[in-house]
Amino acid sequence: MLVREVRQLREMSEAELLERLDQLKAELRKIRSEIGTGGGVGKPARAREIRRSIARALTVLRERRRNVQGG
């Protein structure tokens, strides 16, 4: 699944990547607020998955920007 996710991220445009990043960050904020208020979170490990997905998206963005700059 990891390879598929990275492949999908690399196929997205920069605008789509930024939109996906915003969605992931919003979902992470929601989960963190649920944890903080003491509410039951259905899948607590989802926060880790989201953090890692955010990191993957940021990595793809940085790779693209680095390649554009000729680095």
- The 10s digit of each residue's pLDDT in 36-48 is 888 777 787 899 9
- The 10s digit of each residue's pLDDT in 58-71 is 999 999 999 888 76
Q: Are 30 and 44 in contact (CB under 8 A)?
A: no
Q: Please report which helix (H) or strand (E) contains residue 13, including its range.
A: none
- The 10s digit of each residue's pLDDT in 11-32 is 999 999 999 999 999 999 999 8
**Rounded distance, CA 34 to CA 64, Å?**
34
Query: Which of the 8 DSSP states describes residue 45?
Result: T
Q: Using DSSP, how many helices (H) and how many strands (E) does the chain show?
A: 3, 0
> 2-68 sits in which CATH class?
mainly alpha
